[in-house]
Amino acid sequence: MRSVIGEQVFVEEVLESSSPVLVHFWAPWCSVCRLIEPALAKLRSDSGEQVKLIGINADENLKLASSYRITTLPTVLLFQGGKLLHRLDSYQNREELRTVLQEVIPTQANT
* Residue 6 per-residue DSSP state: -
Mind telling me the catalytic residues?
30, 33
How buried is residue 101: exposed, middle or buried, by Cβ count under 10 Å (0-12/13-18/19+)?
Answer: buried
CB within 8 Å of 66: residues ≥ 6 apart: none
Angle of helix 94-102 versus helix 31-46 axis, rounded to 10: 40
